[in-house]
Structure 1
Amino acid sequence: MDKLKPLITFTQKQQSNLGFGLITLLTVGSEHIFSAFAFKCPCNDWNFVYGNVCLLVPALALLILSYMLSNKTWKLVTGLCHRKYRLCRIRYAFGFLCVFLQITTTAMVAPLSWIAVALLKGVYFECSMTGANVTLFRHQLCSQKFPHCLTELEKFPCDGTSIPQSERLALLTIIRAESQVLGWLLIASVATFTFLLTCLARCYSPISYMQLKFWRMYSDKESDFLDSFTSQHAEKLAKRNLTSFFELTKPTPMKNPPKQAWEKISSFYKYRSMNDYYSILHKYVCTCEDLENPAARASVRSENEFSSPAALAFLDDDKIAL
């Protein structure tokens, strides 16, 4: 795992700087390898099922994997079973849904990239459509130019058949053209939706562009220092406990944040114009009257939980959770 840390760190930086461009590139490469070495249309009654499975199931797997690799997912669901009563509250449930939609929007990058590239290449769509047992579709696709189309359509994707090569290639060209049109329409739709959503989020941003830029820098630094402090404190605590165990001595006192404090800083945060807190941790340490008193720590409210506006989604950035 230690050997993978540089790669993980690089991937996280690429996600924040290039907007998941690296994920898209890896998805495109995976699709190319799969279609070149693993995909082979059966050219029988299984065409439709096989083509759709190869097109959609990897996309579903990438969606689930994206959920699993998102810190936001685990931040949202960890301890959820102990908060069932709160889900009945409309405000809480609405905030929960908003955060889940943010996670889903991010997670859709990889599966949509897979589907778009697969449609542009056309091999999965070609295999699927030649196996579609729909009379209306076959009559619309076939014409007098393709005499073997109605009865042997499922054999068209394969070489070495009795079907004339010119007829086979002409029909496959039509199907691949339809696939590419669908692919470009999908890409254009996703790009337009992403642009409009970003514009809408930035339009309703409660802060200016430069403050948003500063906030992003602060969020990155806080995340880095939190990992560093957590690692150092865990190392000290483990060393103290092991020393006490092997030397048969009482452990020296060490201060640790109580459970309630961890719960407070693990919630999502919404910026409000009446305060200047840049994160839930920032709010916690500034609003807690007595940090030495565990009871005071637990008294800090987090009414902003599950309310993270889209313009400030980077505050709870998705990073690989390993």
Structure 2
Amino acid sequence: MDKFKLLLSFAQKQQATLGFGLVTLITAGGEQIFSAVVFKCPCSSWNFQYGLVFLLVPALVLLIIGVILNNKAWKLFTGLCSRESECACVCDFRGTCVFGLVCIQIFISAAVAPITWIGVALLNGNYYECARTGLANVTLFGYHPCSGKAQPCRSELHLFPCREFPVTVPPTERDAVMTIIRTESQVIGWLVIASIMTTFLLLTCVARCRSPISHVQLKFWQVYTQKENALLDQYTDEHAQKLAERNLTSFFQKTPPNPIVMPTREEWKQVSSLFYYSKKRQHYSMLQRHVETALCDPRRESTMSDGKAPPAVLDFVDGGGAMP
């Protein structure tokens, strides 16, 4: 039991890392199945378009799904057009910068699955082989696959991915050309993976370097965010049940409803808005900010002018969970 609790504690602490790892594994497995079951190169003039669609369109779909499942995206856009003050803020320079920064953070979080798809697909090579054989006159890395091969190689290149299609090029040369193309695909795949990993490492280092808080406080902040989100779901469920029970009791028994204290619409907006970081006041969430300002001292009600967009290291604050 103690080992199970230790494992559960580790999983909760490494929730983001394990989540990204799970997304990567599912995407890689899905690509392998998709390539084996669905994909079949037409071996015609459509090779390039067909291979490119299978390489990029699923990545675009995964990116869109990643944005849809991002909690911060819905915090940003829900009710944005109906709030005049928010729209006005987005239109000015400062608001545009904050809006753009949040959109970049959303895009980076959602890009894990698409990048994994492209990287694994290039290492596998099937999509690239099909697309590359549709470009008979294109030279990559200063070398064409048909260089030094039989004369019909370029004209029959689009038939090479399909073994059932007869060609006049000798089988050994055909295999050599396909090996070169697969090598190109894998080299590009490793370059993409290495570039993305290096960029991610640099961005992480810069974010940590510019962090206004210490490493230990950052760990505490992450734990607090997880606890607050879990308790918020629990309290929301309990209060929704109480309100529903009161309304149904009043309806069926024909009695006046008992008073229940509930947050106002403006208070819901305050705690639902994106987190704004302030050096003057230490608040770990918009909920805490609202409780310690608007409720304790209404004259200090929390507004966007009190803070600025949070540093990249605090991107997890509005992460919460999946789509609300």
Q: With structure 1 as the length reference, what TM-score do the two structures score?
A: 0.89
Shift of 1:93: 1.3
Instruction: Tell me the equivalent position of 2:100.
Output: 97
User: Which runs of 5 or more residues in structure 2 are unaligned?
Assistant: 1-10
User: In the aligned structure 2, how far is the partner of 1:263 from the partner of 1:289?
Assistant: 14
User: In the aligned structure 2, how far is the partner of 1:59 from the partner of 1:51?
Assistant: 13
User: In the aligned structure 2, how far is the partner of 1:113 from the partner of 1:166?
Assistant: 33
Structure 1 pair 256–17 and aligned structure 2 pair: CA distance change class (3 A)? same
Q: Does 2:194 match 1:192?
A: no
Query: After alignment, is 179-188 or 75-84 more displaced?
Result: 75-84
Instruction: Tell me the equivalent position of 2:246.
Output: 240
User: In the aligned structure 2, how far is the partner of 1:59 from the partner of 1:302?
Assistant: 35
| C-alpha contact 2:134 2:157 (8 A) present in aligned 1 | yes
Structure 1 pair 125–305 and aligned structure 2 pair: CA distance change class (3 A)? farther
User: In the aligned structure 2, how far is the partner of 1:70 from the partner of 1:247?
Assistant: 43
Map 1:1-322 → 2, pairs under 5 A: 15-18=15-18, 20-83=20-83, 84-132=87-135, 134=137, 140-163=144-167, 164-290=170-296, 296=298, 299-303=301-305, 307-317=309-319, 319-321=321-323
User: In the aligned structure 2, how far is the partner of 1:239 from the partner of 1:42?
Assistant: 61
- C-alpha distance after superposition, 1:211-257 (max 9, x if no partner): 11111111110111011001110111111111111222211111110
Structure 1 pair 64–318 and aligned structure 2 pair: CA distance change class (3 A)? farther
Query: After alignment, is 21-30 or 259-268 more displaced?
Result: 259-268
User: In the aligned structure 1, how far is the partner of 2:120 from the partner of 2:306?
Assistant: 40
Structure 1 pair 146–272 and aligned structure 2 pair: CA distance change class (3 A)? farther
Is the partner of 1:141 in helix, strand or coil?
Answer: coil
User: Which runs of 5 or more residues in structure 1 are unaligned?
Assistant: 1-10
Structure 1 pair 306–179 and aligned structure 2 pair: CA distance change class (3 A)? farther
| C-alpha contact 2:27 2:117 (8 A) present in aligned 1 | yes
Is the partner of 1:82 in helix, strand or coil?
Answer: coil
Is the partner of 2:258 in helix, strand or coil?
Answer: coil
| C-alpha contact 1:122 1:180 (8 A) present in aligned 2 | yes
Shift of 1:305: 6.9
Partner letter of residue 114 of structure 1?
A: W
Structure 1 pair 223–152 and aligned structure 2 pair: CA distance change class (3 A)? same
Shift of 1:273: 3.1
Q: Aligned residue pairs: how many?
A: 309
- C-alpha distance after superposition, 1:155-187 (max 9, x if no partner): 000012323322221101000101101100111
Shift of 1:85: 2.7
**Structure 1 vs Structure 2 CA RMSD:** 2.4
Instruction: Tell me the equivalent position of 2:4.
Output: none
Partner letter of residue 232 of structure 2?
A: L
Instruction: Tell me the equivalent position of 1:7.
Output: none
User: In the aligned structure 2, how far is the partner of 1:146 from the partner of 1:319?
Assistant: 58
User: In the aligned structure 2, how far is the partner of 1:315 from the partner of 1:288?
Assistant: 20
Instruction: Tell me the equivalent position of 2:7.
Output: none
Shift of 1:145: 2.0
Shift of 1:149: 1.5
